[in-house]
């Protein structure tokens, strides 16, 4: 009995020692109900999009003329469009492209934005140059710029990587380089405030190198606005991609993406509502769940909220 | 039965005389018209756009309009001049028009022969950049013989002299208003171009470019009982589907133009019972243009899609077997059924109408024949590779297929891609914003004239009923390229001296039957060669409110040419 008590009391401190930053984050994250729902929904969507086409093996671009505007049935769970293409297969195929575009573009936005924001906020010498550059990018009108970049690089990328991969790279790159500015500004503001704090001073006074200070002490403290930017960035990328498709500058027209499916289906809203409901719902759920995950991560990463 | 019929007849007479007696200028309030492409100018001589032509036809009138059957209807004249009535000279080199007496401009001054002469000189001014100039081809002089008589002399015999001042594209302008707007000054006359004085049933009250036009009944219109409407609201903007909805479902508007929307959507909207979908068939043909020149991006700007005297042939579309197989593989019935419904008919000609010009020599294309198409390709040496795509000497049958952004067109693209896959042809689709594709911007590579793809799809037609100008589009001299700022009409880059000779012959041949014979031959040459692959003979589709009467939609002229006769059904 006593031994057992002793045993447990000696075990406790060792367990305490094993607690890491990310372990704490995970515990806090699990407590955030919205974030957990978000994780579940998002995982389901990703799994469906990745493995769905292996189970539902209908070709999304095959037009079955005899089965046009069909209501949902066993053969066609989401019905068909006006050319007789299976909507379920299109939503699954579209999801792959849309998610890939959304996440890759977001990654570019966040990387660029964080890098420029941290450098500008931390190094006074770079601040002026980098922020004027940010202002310049902000002043560029996005859509006309997109059109010009598309026109100039479309043919060369197409011959290098083929039509789909070429357009994918172009779209992701174009969205990434035209949306990093907000993130950079927010990060810079946060860094300006944090670098004057005592713990940074302490780190400096013991001779910590600047890149260590940036990565070890400042970055974790600005993670929460970055997370929020990231979740907004995904939604933004998905919407920009559909706007480009609408202008005829995105993917080829027979290449389904969620944005394009909504645009194509909008005229058929009365006739076959499934055409807009499913891809629309997919976009909303993805954006919403990513937002919740971001919210949970933000809370979990903030040491002042953690443990409350 | 008999009493019943006479009762009906008398009821009909009553109804007719009833409206006649009741009708009074401006008694029916306002009519609302919706064009989803907004109007930018009200002078058709300065804009080739259909919408501008239609909007200005409410104010400006030509001597003659075309009715829904393509017949000429005298508007500002009493009769159509012909050789028989002496109006056209025996040598076919001049035509003499006699204006109706007593016609006033909306400002109260009389219409005279001087105005007609002025309008001709306005458009034929060498610096004017008149978009209707093709209506005045070969005109040597305009002459006012007296106040009401105009003689137009041609430099060559004109078997079809009804180009000048026939149709809404070439109306009569008032000399007093436009006399300082000749030549290079024409586009600078904003006041004149936005508020033209006309002889038509309405006058412009307010014009907001690219937005709304408000017209008011013309107090000096020749028929005191017309127009029945006091004002016309002509709204521009939106898209085809919402325009259709505004007339058919919500009833906000009385008339909507050019509704290229999927047939099932239109019929569903029409089921609301507020309006009616109308279609009329003119000369519109949705066709695939086949690029006969090489377009590889590596070729550079001087050679890409440039004819270069035939030294730059397309790697596989220059093979007649490929062109024929591509056409045979298409099931046009399905395309019509899915994309057009009642607004389209299968066609195998680029010249589908009027009836006497329609050839039947190419009807092989009406039925899809995949087996024959495959056989043609096999015989020509195109063998399927491991991925099912045919190739020969390292050239793959891989097509880049572009068109403008429009859901019907993207649907057609997807169908054609699938049909071509069956004969081992790979297709990559591209859609381009209509404003760019049809914009003609010299600096953009995406215009239909530059044609930086293997195949492209769009609709073309010709105004009026005579195909001479239209068939001349495919002469060698019309090939677009850097040398003519890409302005030619011969988009497939087709060049055949025999064709050019036949075009010359058409220009000097009189007699409708002989002309029809040549026009058919020209059409057959193009079809047989496969320079274009016709798909659908498209009707114009518009919608009217069930309360709007008197509409006589025509494809040969401005759709709203008879707006003076419109009235409200009560």
Q: Which tens digits make up the pLDDT trace of A221-277?
A: 888 888 888 888 887 888 788 777 766 677 888 888 888 888 888 888 888 888 889
* Cβ-based contacts of A252 with chain B (< 8 Å): 428-431
Report the sign of the C-alpha dihedral through residues B423, B427, B433, B435, in that order.
negative
**Least confident residue range of A26-30, A50-54, B303-307, B378-382:** A26-30
**Averaged pLDDT, groups of 10, chain B, 570 residues long:** 43 42 77 90 83 92 90 92 89 92 93 93 84 84 92 88 90 93 85 93 92 93 91 89 91 90 88 90 92 88 86 93 95 92 91 88 92 95 92 92 89 93 93 81 84 92 82 90 83 94 87 88 94 93 93 90 91
Predicted confidence band of residue A23 (pLDDT cuts 50, 70, 90)? confident
ipTM of the predicted structure? Answer: 0.76
Distances (CA, A) of B330 to B371, B426, B471, B524, B533: 12, 14, 25, 19, 10
Are A252 and B405 an interchain contact pair (Cβ–Cβ within 8 Å)?
no
For residue B134, the distance in angstroms to the closest alpha carbon of chain A comes to: 33
pLDDT of residue B14: 41
pLDDT at A163 over 50: yes
B417 and A254 in contact by Cβ < 8 A?
yes
pLDDT of B127: 80
**A–B CB contacts, 8 A cutoff, strictly below:** 71
- For A83, the closest of B261, B338, B429 (CB atoms) is B338
Sign of CA dihedral B351, B357, B362, B368: positive
How far is A47 from chain B, CA to nearest CA, in Å? 28
- Chain A: residues touching B (Cβ < 8 Å): 61-63, 65, 68-69, 82-83, 85, 151, 155-156, 158-159, 163, 246-249, 252-254, 264, 267-268, 270-271
pLDDT exceeds cutoff 90 at A175: no
Query: Which of A61, A63, A253 minimises the CB distance to B431?
Result: A253
Which H or E run includes B391? Answer: strand B390-392
Which residues are registered as beta bridge partners of B536? B286, B346
The reported pTM is 0.78
- Which pLDDT value is given to residue B15? 42
List of E strands, B208-333: 212-217, 231-236, 255-256, 275-290
User: So what's the pLDDT on residue B375?
Assistant: 95
In A, which residues are within 8 Å of B418 by CB distance?
61-63
| Contact call for B446 and A151, based on CB within 8 A | yes
What is the greatest pairwise CA distance in chain A?
A: 80
How many Å apart are CA B345 and CA B366, to the nearest integer? 10
Write down the domain spans for chain A.
87-301
Work out the minimum CA distance from B123 to partner chain A, whole angstroms: 36
pLDDT at B286: 94
Find the residue in B nearest to A247 (Cα). B433
pLDDT of A248:
64
Nearest to B433 among A85, A248, A253 (CB): A248
Nearest by CB to A253, which of B264, B413, B452?
A: B413
Residue B331 · residue B346 · CB < 8 Å: no
Chain B 245-264, residues with CB within 8 Å of chain A CB atoms: 261-262, 264
As a dihedral over the C-alpha atoms of residue A19, residue A21, residue A22, residue A25, rounded to 10 degrees, the angle is 100
Average pLDDT, integer, range A269-292: 88
pLDDT at A18: 67
CB atoms within 10 A of CB B104: 15
Quote the pLDDT of residue A193: 92
Supply the pLDDT for residue B418. 93
Cis peptide before B153 (omega within 30 of 0): no
The Cα of B245 is separated from the nearest Cα of chain A by a number of Å equal to: 10
Q: Which of B241, B334, B431 sits opposite A248 (nearest CB)?
A: B431
B345 CB within 8 Å of a chain A CB? no
What chain A residue is nearest to B334 in terms of C-alpha separation?
A: A65
pLDDT of residue B464: 73
Q: Which residues pair with B213 in a beta bridge?
A: B207, B234
> Which tens digits make up the pLDDT trace of A63-107?
888 888 888 888 888 888 888 899 999 999 999 988 999 889 999
Q: Nearest chain A residue to B421 by CA: give it.
A: A62
Q: Does B414 touch chain A (CB under 8 A)?
A: yes
Q: For residue B471, what pLDDT is reported?
A: 92
| Chain A contact present for B407, CB below 8 A | yes
Residues B185-224 pLDDT 10s: 888 888 999 999 999 999 999 999 889 999 999 999 998 8
Confidence (pLDDT) at A263: 82
CB contact under 8 A, A267 and B241: yes
Contact A253 B430 (CB under 8 A): yes
| Predicted local confidence at residue A11, as pLDDT | 46
Of B334, B428, B436, the CB nearest to A252: B428
Partner-chain contact B413 A248, CB within 8 Å: no
Contact criterion met (CB < 8 Å) for B410 and A264: yes
Domain A87-301 is of which CATH architecture? Orthogonal Bundle (1.10)
Indicate whether A8 pLDDT > 50: no
Statement: residue A156 has pLDDT above 70: yes
- Domains belonging to chain B, first-starting first, are 11-274+546-568 (3.40.190.10), 283-465+529-539 (3.10.105.10)
Cβ partners under 8 Å of residue A304, min gap 6: none
């Amino acid at each position: 009995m006593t031994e057992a008590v002793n045993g447990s009391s000696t075990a406790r401190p060792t367990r305490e020692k094993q607690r890491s930053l990310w372990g704490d984050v995970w515990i806090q994250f699990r407590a955030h109900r919205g974030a957990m729902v978000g994780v579940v929904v998002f995982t389901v969507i990703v799994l469906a999009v990745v493995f769905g086409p292996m189970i539902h093996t209908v070709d999304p671009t095959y037009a079955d003329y005899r089965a046009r505007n069909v209501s949902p049935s066993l053969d066609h769970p989401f019905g068909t469009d006006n050319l007789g293409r299976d909507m379920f297969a299109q939503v699954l195929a579209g999801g792959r492209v849309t998610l890939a575009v959304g996440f890759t573009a977001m990654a570019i936005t966040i990387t660029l934005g964080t890098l420029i924001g941290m450098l500008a906020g931390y190094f006074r010498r770079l601040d002026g140059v980098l922020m004027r550059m940010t202002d310049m990018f902000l002043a560029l009108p996005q859509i006309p710029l997109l059109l010009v970049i598309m026109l100039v690089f479309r043919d060369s990328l197409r011959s290098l990587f083929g039509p789909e991969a070429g357009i994918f790279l172009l779209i992701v790159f174009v969205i990434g380089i035209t949306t990093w500015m907000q993130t950079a500004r927010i990060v810079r503001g946060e860094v300006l405030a944090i670098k004057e704090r005592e713990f940074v001073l302490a780190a400096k006074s013991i001779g910590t190198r600047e890149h260590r200070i940036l990565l070890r002490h400042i970055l974790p403290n600005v993670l929460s606005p970055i997370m929020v930017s990231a979740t907004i960035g995904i939604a933004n990328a998905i919407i920009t991609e559909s706007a480009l498709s609408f202008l005829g500058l995105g993917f080829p027209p027979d290449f389904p993406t969620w944005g394009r499916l909504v645009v194509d289906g909008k005229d058929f809203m009365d006739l076959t509502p499934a055409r807009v409901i499913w891809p629309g719902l997919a976009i909303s759920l993805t954006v919403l769940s990513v937002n919740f995950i971001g919210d949970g991560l933000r809370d979990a990463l903030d040491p002042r909220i953690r443990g409350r | 039965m008999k009493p019943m019929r006479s009762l009906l007849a008398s009821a009909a007479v009553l109804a007719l005389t009833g409206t006649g007696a009741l009708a009074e200028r401006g008694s029916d309030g306002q009519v609302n018209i919706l064009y989803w492409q907004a109007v930018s100018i009200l002078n058709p001589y300065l804009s080739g756009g259909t919408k501008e032509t239609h909007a200005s036809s409410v104010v400006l009138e030509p001597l003659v309009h075309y009715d829904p059957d393509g017949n000429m209807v005298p508007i500002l004249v009493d009769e159509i001049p012909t050789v028989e009535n002496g109006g056209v000279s025996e040598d076919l080199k001049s035509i003499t028009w006699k204006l109706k007496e007593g016609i006033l401009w909306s400002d109260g001054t009389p219409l005279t022969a001087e105005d007609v002469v002025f309008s001709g000189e306005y458009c034929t001014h060498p610096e004017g950049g008149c978009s209707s100039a093709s209506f005045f081809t070969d005109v040597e002089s305009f002459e006012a013989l007296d106040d009401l008589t105009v003689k137009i002399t041609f430099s060559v015999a004109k078997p079809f002299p009804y180009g000048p001042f026939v149709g809404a594209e070439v109306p009569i302008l008032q000399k007093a208003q436009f006399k300082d707007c000749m030549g290079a000054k024409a586009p600078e006359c904003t006041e004149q171009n936005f508020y033209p004085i006309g002889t038509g049933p309405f006058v412009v009250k307010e014009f907001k470019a690219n937005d709304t036009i408000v017209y008011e009944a013309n107090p000096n219109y020749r028929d005191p009982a017309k127009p029945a409407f006091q004002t016309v609201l002509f709204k521009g903007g939106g898209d085809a589907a919402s325009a259709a909805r505004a007339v058919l479902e919500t009833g906000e508007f009385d008339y909507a133009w050019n509704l290229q929307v999927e047939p099932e959507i239109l019929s569903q909207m029409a089921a609301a019972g507020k309006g009616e979908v109308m279609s009329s068939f003119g000369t519109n043909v949705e066709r695939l243009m086949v690029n006969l020149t090489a377009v590889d991006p590596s070729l550079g700007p001087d050679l890409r899609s440039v004819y270069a005297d035939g030294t730059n042939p397309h790697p596989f579309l220059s093979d007649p077997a490929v062109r024929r197989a591509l056409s045979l593989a298409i099931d046009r019935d399905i395309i019509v059924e899915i994309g057009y419904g009642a607004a389209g008919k299968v066609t195998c000609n680029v010249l589908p109408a009027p009836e006497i010009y329609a050839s039947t020599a190419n009807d092989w294309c009406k039925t899809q024949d995949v087996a024959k198409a495959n056989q043609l390709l096999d015989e020509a040496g195109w063998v399927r590779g491991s991925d099912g795509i045919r190739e020969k000497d390292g050239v793959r049958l891989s097509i880049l297929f572009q068109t403008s952004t429009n859901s019907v067109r993207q649907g057609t693209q997807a169908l054609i891609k699938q049909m071509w896959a069956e004969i081992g042809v790979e297709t990559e689709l591209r859609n381009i914003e209509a404003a760019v594709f049809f914009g003609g911007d010299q600096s953009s590579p995406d215009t239909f004239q530059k044609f930086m793809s293997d195949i492209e799809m769009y609709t073309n037609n010709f105004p009026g009923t005579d195909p001479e100008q239209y068939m001349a589009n495919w002469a060698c001299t019309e090939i677009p390229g850097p040398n003519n700022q890409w302005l030619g009409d011969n988009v497939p880059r087709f060049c055949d001296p025999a064709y050019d000779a036949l075009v010359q012959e058409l220009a000097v041949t009189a007699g409708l039957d002989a002309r029809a014979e040549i026009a058919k031959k020209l059409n057959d040459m193009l079809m047989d060669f496969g320079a274009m692959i016709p798909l659908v003979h498209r009707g114009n589709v518009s919608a009217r409110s069930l309360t709007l009467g008197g509409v006589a939609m025509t494809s040969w002229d401005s759709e709203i040419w008879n707006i003076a006769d419109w009235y409200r059904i009560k």
